[in-house]
């Protein structure tokens, strides 16, 4: 290959980085990430990256060591005279802390953006930020990929008769409406009210779901409580079947039990975060090809517009 590009992986995303590198057509570069006895992390590139485009692949899910690894890799790459350093973050941690909605709270997603920029990142490639406006926290380019490019072919393969899309909350209604428009289907909204994080106080369904095959779409599945409760309520309202699609499988706490014991037919997730337990209702789809294409297009200064739902809609004259 004639391009001066090298791909490296942090320890948290090794499984996905290998798949991306295979789709990209180049092996992962060699980097030594060591941990000292007190837990401190050290990073050393074991090959020359002078004058190269360096793509560092690491999702920043818990623990925060994954974020620290990425920051140290960026710093090491800049100090090794890399031409450009691109942080490829399939899952952007702290994205749910995107605004000051209560007094005296931190805006974690802005802090992470500041740290990535200060460390020396020239560009960020990520997928399905919890709030798209987080892109505005950066003063460097952000390529924000959309999991619809992966989920839509899967949904099409199901050949559901009375397909109806459900938004898990009012905030995601615009995105779900786009997908429903693409399929020429109806949509409903599960409006929920929280008293505190990860705990739903009440929920209502806006719209008719009688005898419908429901597809719920969300960006993050954390404890699975929202999905399980939404699915149960939709079933009570007369839905024939309920499936859920979530980009980032955080799956903390009792999430696996909540999903397995719910009325969901299946939960389809991306591999931006590794699955800790494989249970019957969870299906994993790969993001490797999508990220490989985005990396190549960034390298060749090509548009990534074709990777988005709006490009598919334009081809269908919607």
By C-alpha distance, which of 287, 278, 214, 187 is closest to 247? 287
Mutual orientation of helices 14-24 and 288-299 as an angle, nearest 10°?
60
Whether 127 and 148 have beta carbons less than 8 Å apart is answered as no
Question: Nearest 5°: phi and psi at 45?
Answer: -75, 135
Q: State yes or no: is 302 an active-site residue.
A: no
Q: Tokens in use for 89? A: 């973050």
- CA 139, distance to chain mean position in Å, is 21
Q: Annotated catalytic residue: which of 78, 192, 235, 237?
A: 192
Q: Beta partners for 167?
A: 189
- How far lies 20's CA from each of 61, 99, 145, 177, 196, in Å? 18, 32, 15, 30, 37
Give the bridge partners for 199, in sequence order.
196
DSSP letter, residue 130: S
List CB contacts of 117: < 8 A, sequence separation 6 or more.
138, 139, 140
Strand locations in 40-162, DSSP E?
Answer: 41-45, 53-57, 84-89, 123-127, 142-145
**What is the set of active-site residues?**
192
């Amino acid at each position: 290959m004639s391009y001066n590009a090298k791909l490296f992986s942090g320890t948290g995303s090794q499984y996905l980085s290998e798949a991306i590198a295979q789709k990209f057509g180049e092996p992962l570069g060699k980097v030594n990430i060591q941990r000292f006895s007190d837990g401190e992390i050290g990073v050393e590139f074991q090959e020359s990256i002078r004058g190269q485009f360096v793509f560092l692949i690491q999702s920043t899910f818990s623990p925060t060591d994954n974020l620290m690894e990425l920051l140290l890799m960026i710093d090491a790459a800049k100090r090794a005279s890399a031409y450009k350093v691109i942080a490829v973050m399939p899952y952007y941690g702290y994205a749910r802390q995107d605004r000051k909605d209560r007094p005296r709270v931190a805006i974690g997603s802005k802090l992470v953006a500041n740290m990535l920029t200060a460390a020396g990142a020239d560009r960020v490639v990520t997928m399905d930020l919890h709030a798209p406006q987080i892109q505005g926290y950066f003063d460097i380019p952000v390529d924000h990929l959309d999991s619809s490019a992966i989920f839509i072919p899967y949904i099409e393969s199901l050949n559901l008769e009375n397909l109806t899309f459900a938004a898990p909350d009012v905030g995601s209604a615009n995105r779900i409406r786009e997908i429903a428009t693409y399929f020429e289907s109806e949509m409903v909204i599960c409006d929920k009210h929280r008293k505190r994080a990860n705990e739903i106080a009440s929920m209502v369904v806006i719209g008719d779901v009688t005898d419908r095959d429901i597809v719920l779409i969300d960006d993050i599945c954390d404890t699975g409580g929202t999905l399980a409760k939404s699915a149960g309520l939709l079933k009570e309202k007369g839905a024939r079947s309920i499936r859920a699609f979530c980009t980032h499988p955080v799956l903390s706490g009792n999430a696996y039990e909540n999903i397995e014991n719910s009325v969901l037919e299946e939960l389809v997730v991306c591999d931006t975060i590794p699955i800790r337990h494989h249970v019957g209702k969870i299906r994993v789809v790969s993001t490797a090809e999508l990220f490989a294409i985005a990396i190549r297009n960034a390298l060749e200064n090509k548009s990534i517009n074709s990777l988005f739902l709006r490009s598919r809609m334009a081809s269908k004259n919607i």
